[in-house]
Amino acid sequence: MVFIENNQNKIELTDELRELIETVVDKALKYEGIGFDYDVNVYLVDNEAIKEINKDYRKIDKVTDVLSFPMIDFRERGGYEVYNEDLDPETKNVLLGEIILSLEKAMEQSREYEHPFRREVAFLIVHSVLHLLGYDHEVEEERKVMRQKEEEILQSLGITR
């Protein structure tokens, strides 16, 4: 399940945008072979809110586009192994983590990169889902792997540059 909470009022959360986010999360997880039931929380915010969160959690006092908060360290486990303690006792779903997306920043970047807002949101969601699964881009080799996966997932959705 993808839970979306809209905590901003600068960009309208349309049914189409909600469906895009849900579809992108699901497609990215399927691409990575996730076969268990999951929960991902997506919080939509504005630039002011994401700047505060970035400052509080990463000690970086500036606006960013998306933040990922994984609940499971899959790298440490060496794969997508799930333990009983990872399961929500009520739903039996695995809470993979939280995504905080600034729709305001996504709109700014879509204009800057001259591509549709839809594509920018999809890219940022794919990027964040991969972070929830343990991918990173701190070193060049990891960045290349992550970028390739992002593009393949977006292409599978028919979302291109």
Please give the structure tokens belonging to residue 110: 């879509």
Consecutive H or E run containing 10: none
Rounded Cα distance between 28 and 23, Å, is 9
Three-class DSSP category at 106: helix
Q: Which of 99, 78, 98, 74 is nearest to 86 (CA)?
A: 74
| b/e burial code for range 93-132 (CB count within 10 A of at least 16 → b) | ebbbbbbbbbbbbbbbbbeeeeeebebbbbbbbbbbbbbb
pLDDT in tens, the chain (161 residues): 999 999 999 999 999 999 999 999 999 999 999 989 999 999 999 999 999 999 999 999 999 999 999 999 998 888 898 899 899 999 999 999 999 999 999 999 999 999 999 999 999 999 999 999 999 888 888 899 999 999 999 999 999 87
Looking up tokens 């504005």, which residue turns up?
A: 46
Rounded Cα distance between 34 and 74, Å, is 12
Question: Rounded to a whole number, what is the largest CA-CA distance in the chain?
Answer: 45
Q: Identify the structural domains of the chain with CATH numbers, from first to last.
A: 2-156 (3.40.390.30)
Instruction: Supply the pLDDT for residue 102.
Output: 98
Q: What is the pTM of this model?
A: 0.94
132, 70 Cβ separation under 8 angstroms:
yes
21, 2 Cβ separation under 8 angstroms:
yes
96, 132 Cβ separation under 8 angstroms:
yes
Consecutive H or E run containing 39: strand 38-45
pLDDT tens string 20-57: 999 999 999 999 999 899 999 999 999 999 999 999 99
